[in-house]
Structure 1
Amino acid sequence: MATTVAIIGAGPGGLVAARWLAAQGFEPHLFEQAPALGGQWTGLDGTSGVWPGLYTNTSRVLTAFSELPHTGDQTFLAAGDIRHYLNRYAQTFGLVDRIRLFSRVFRLSRGARGWTVETESGAEMFDRVVVASGRFQTPALPTVPGLESFAGSEGVTSTFHYRGAERYRRKRVLVGGCAVSALEIAAELAQGGADAVMVTQRRQRYVLPKFAAGVPSDHRIFTRYGVLADEQLPRSAVDRQLRDIVTDAGGSPEQYGAPRPDPSLFAAGVTLSQHYLPLVAEGRIGIRPWLTSVSGRDVTFGDGSTTPFDGIVFGTGFALDLPFLDDDIRATVALDTVHIDADRYTFHPDLPGLAFVGMWDQSGGYFVPLELQARWIAYVWGGVIPPLDPAAQRASIDAYRARRGLSQKTRMNIAAIAFARAAGCEPDLDSWPDLRRALLFGPLAPSCFRLDGPDALPGAAETFARDAAAFGAIMSNAFTAREQEQWELLRERS
């Protein structure tokens, strides 16, 4: 009899976990609270933060799983395209009949013989559980004196509940925050007929355009070289290299009339947005320091200025919220609104048979690391790779706990390589000399993780060569001058 696995959530993380667990002979059952699969990509108000006009800020190559490329050649995809892709993925791998829609899990607990999953239909026992319910479902609104008194006609909301610019036509709108959703929505409002759009921010981030010199920016910044550099070079050198990539692609914010960011990209942060800075330069988006108080329609900012608004939209992040975990599990993983204690965001040695998927906060696309994390779980539980060492797991958790209180945002390439190493499928540079440059400085396409290790594919090298060359990358071993300098610096330190 097959080992049963309850998977909580049928978004990208739940679907890819189900596909790889089924491949290892497990019997996955997906519980989805919404009336459709897809998680955030359903676009359903209340369970999704995806608005109708949203396009991905990651390219189609990095917004896909390794066995199912997107159809067509559009570089950045509409939200509906991703929804259709996930439905196609579920159909391709026989997952549709495994999904129970309208099935909200309200309690997960462990017992002597397995795990109990409770829904409105009753309680069921499973041998194992994967929590893939999503990291970005509970907006974190800031505490601002007088915010509850705001009297603008459009009220206060979060980017999670934003559903388009139409309601804000001929209105004055304040957007709070400087992450992706805040800047993308500010740009949509400015282009969608708002009378005035103002962004209030605690600090000025660098802004990287989604597309520069014919290449998607995620192909430039989320590379394997970036992971090796992070591991071996001084932090200041990595900081400088990343800042150079960003400013070479799109300049620095002060050149557009925005405030000057901190010289350190790590201190300032970076956000991908194609249109935001040009709209600032055109005067169609204004920028203010962080708001300090609200009274009626009037908002006062850190520079002492006061401006009336009709609506406020906050894009200030999300709280980590897993309300169905019982007190025992919650205490074991020391869950709070930011952190979860788990070895590489996945396993806890005191909770065998339980795994988490997609519970980290990162910059960059999730599809590639989600698949690698799913493969790691399936390979560990399926015996493809050696069992986990509890002492090593505890050391990993202790290292994570030591960083509590600091920013926990992870770059996509760091997450992907960590999971690839855990799953035993990090590509070996020496085995692929003709792909060396692409594997170092090219995109972390899902195909490159099918070159070596478990489930390597015979045609993966050709697929990866196409993926790396899709946007004009030179497929040769001849590094550019900058790449050669970076590689020599790395080899000196290794």
Structure 2
Amino acid sequence: MESKQVGVVGAGISGLVTCKYLLQKGFQPVVFEAGRSIGGVWASPLGSTRLQTPAELYQFTDFPWPESVTGAPNHKQVMEYLEAYARRFDVIRHVRFGEKVVGLEYVGPDQEEMEAWDLWGGTGDGFAGAGRGVWHVTVEKEDGAKEEHVMDFVVLCLGRFSGLPKIPSFSESKGPEAFNGKVIHSMDLAKMGSSVAAEFVKGKRIIVIGFLKSALDVAAECADINGVELPCTMIVRTKRWNLPDFSAWGVSFGYYYFNRFSELLFHKPGEGIMLSLLATLLSPLVNAFSTYFSSYKLHV
């Protein structure tokens, strides 16, 4: 089979891994990256951002961390690790920086024919048999100029946080316009850069809405800048606990949440009767695990 050209959108972690495996399979990958750096969300995080997991739980299977990196690496260490990975597997030369994908068009069989297919591509082949279709990929460069590339296949590696902040909707006159202070998204704070962000936060009373990774990063950043004099307030919908490590009374979280068994505890889209029944029967274990670890938190 002739070597196929595959377009990869995004040079974050997923894009780097995709490019690496495409090269190993003999394809010709082209990675389109809108920014000037690999790394995705790790390229411009808040200064205090670090992994919330130990290094050994966040690594490529074929590229371990340096022995000097222990615990939960900070964002600079993560970027150095990703850059080393890209160099090791010769990925960088396939990345086109400063080129944002603004259009994708599939040129091939019409919609009516595709809807009649029982198999992907009509044949079960990812490339639709003998070159029946191609993708026209339109990219916009930093100077505003546009180019079109023809690809045999396209892989989207944009991630969940590709420059699109998730803003909740508010009823009329109940949103940011009714608030006397400044309302920004965590992405906006990260884009400011460390020095500008520090100046923006310094001396202000900050309220963070949410309790996931970005919210905790913002709270940590505010704590580093303002200290105890102006503590940051977090507003969350449900009570949550942050534990100092991945064990409680000597029992590791991994036995419950980091294995295949944990997947059986929750209902999933498209699940069959057996998986649905298992999730229903095993769901009380979720509350049992949460109660166990919450009890530990209250006693430490």
Q: Does the TM-score normalized on the shorter chain lie above 0.5? A: yes
Aligned equivalents of 1:162 and 1:218: distance in 2? Answer: 33
Partner of 1:147: 176
Structure 2 vs 1, CA of residues 124 and 215 (structure 1 numbering), >3 Å: closer, same or farther? farther
The residue number in structure 2 matching 1:4 is 5
Alignment partner for residue 258 of structure 2, among 214, 218, 222?
222
Aligned partner of 1:102 in structure 2 is 98
4+ residue segments displaced more than 6 Å: none
Per the alignment, do residues 60 and 205 of structure 1 end up closer, same or farther by CA in structure 2, a change over 3 Å counting?
same
AA in 2 matched with 1:148: E
Shift of 1:223: 1.2
- Backbone CA RMSD of aligned residues: 2.8
3-state secondary structure, aligned to 2:150: strand
Show the 5 A alignment for 1:302-317: none
Please give the alpha-carbon distance, in whole angstroms, between the structure 2 residues aligned to 1:216 and 1:91: 35
**Shift of residue 99 of structure 1?**
0.6
1:89 is aligned to 2:72? no
Shift of 1:252: 7.7
- CA separation in 2, counterparts of 1:176 and 1:229? 28
Q: What residue is the counterpart of 1:16 in the other structure? A: 17
Shift in alpha-carbon separation, 1:132–1:219, aligned structure 2, 3 A: farther
Q: Distance in 1 between matches of 2:204 and 2:178?
A: 19
The answer to whether the Cα contact below 8 Å between 1:115 and 1:129 also exists between their aligned partners in 2 is: yes
**Superposition map of 1:254-293 within 5 A:** 255=298
Q: Distance in 1 between matches of 2:281 and 2:219?
A: 33
Which residue pairs with 1:316 in the alignment? none
Bigger drift between 159-168 and 88-97 goes to: 159-168
How big is each residue's C-alpha offset from its partner over 1:98-135, in whole Å with a ceiling of 9 and x where there is no partner?
11101111111111240001113411111111011222
Structure 2 residue aligned with 1:200, among 210, 235, 240?
235
Q: Is the 8 A contact 2:10 2:156 kept in 1?
A: yes
Question: Given the alignment of the two structures, is residue 51 of structure 1 paired with residue 46 of structure 2, yes or no?
Answer: yes
Q: Are residues 1:127 and 2:128 paired?
A: no
Aligned residues: 247
The 8 Å contact of residues 108 and 116 in structure 1, kept in 2 or not, is answered as: yes
Once the two structures are TM-superposed, the CA of residue 84 in structure 1 deviates from its matched residue by 1.2
**2: CA distance, partners of 1:245 / 1:75:** 24
AA at the equivalent of 1:225: F
Task: Give the equivalent residue in structure 1 for 2:161.
Answer: 136
Moved more, 183-192 or 141-150: 183-192
Paired residues of 1:174 and 1:199 also in contact (CA < 8 A): yes
Structure 1 partner of 2:56: 61
> What's the TM-score, normalizing by structure 1?
0.46
Q: CA deviation at 1:151?
A: 3.0
1:51-88 superposed Cα distances (whole Å, 9 cap, x missing partner): 12101112212211110011124121111111111111
- 1:344-355 matches, cutoff 5 A: none
- 1:307 equivalent in structure 2: none
Describe the shift of the 1:8–1:53 C-alpha distance in structure 2 as closer, same or farther (beyond 3 A): same
For the residues of structure 1 that align with 2:220 and 2:48, how far apart are their CA atoms?
A: 11
Question: How far apart are residue 234 of structure 1 and its match?
Answer: 4.3
1:71 and 1:250, CA in 2 relative to 1: closer, same or farther beyond 3 A?
Answer: farther
Question: Following TM superposition, by how much is the alpha carbon of 1:200 offset from its aligned partner in structure 2, in angstroms?
Answer: 2.2
Check whether the contact 2:46–2:217 (CA below 8 A) recurs between aligned residues: no
Q: 1:229 to 1:235 in 2, by over 3 A?
A: closer
Q: Equivalent residue for 1:438?
A: none
The alpha-carbon deviation at position 229 of structure 1 amounts to: 5.0
Q: Partner residue of 2:135?
A: 115
3-state SS in 2 of match to 1:175: strand
User: Aligned equivalents of 1:136 and 1:218: distance in 2?
Assistant: 26
* 1:242 to partner: Cα distance: 3.2
Residue in structure 1 matching 2:183, options 156, 165, 184:
156
For 1:209, give the aligned amino acid.
L
- Give the Å deviation of 1:93: 1.0
Q: How many Å separate the matches in 1 of 2:3 and 2:20?
A: 15
Residue 30 of structure 2 aligns to which amino acid in structure 1? H
> Cα distance, 1:185 vs. partner?
2.4
**Which ranges in structure 1 are unaligned for 5 or more consecutive residues?**
44-49, 257-277, 279-494
CA contact (8 A) 1:210 1:218 kept: no
Match of 1:339 in 2: none
> In 2 relative to 1, CA 191–239 (structure 1 residues): closer, same or farther, beyond 3 Å?
farther
For residue 130 of structure 1, what is the amino acid of its counterpart? Answer: V
Kindly indicate whether the alpha-carbon contact (under 8 Å) linking 1:208 and 1:249 is maintained by their aligned counterparts in 2. no
- Asked whether the 8 Å contact 1:10–1:37 carries over to 2, the reply is yes
Percent of paired sites with the same residue: 26
- 1:344 corresponds in structure 2 to none
* Structure 2 counterpart of 1:240, one-letter code: P
Give the superposition deviation at 1:220. Answer: 5.0
Q: CA deviation at 1:13?
A: 0.7
CA–CA distance in 2 between the matches of 1:79 and 1:219? 28
Tell me which amino acid in the other structure corresponds to 1:110: Y
Alpha-carbon spacing, 1:229–1:178, altered in 2? closer, same or farther (3 Å): closer
The SS at the match of 1:105 is: strand
1:22-41 superposed matches below 5 A: 22-41=23-42
Following the alignment from structure 2 to structure 1, what is the Cα–Cα distance between the partners of residues 184 and 80? 28
Residue 242 of structure 1: aligned partner: 286
- CA drift of 1:182 comes to 1.5
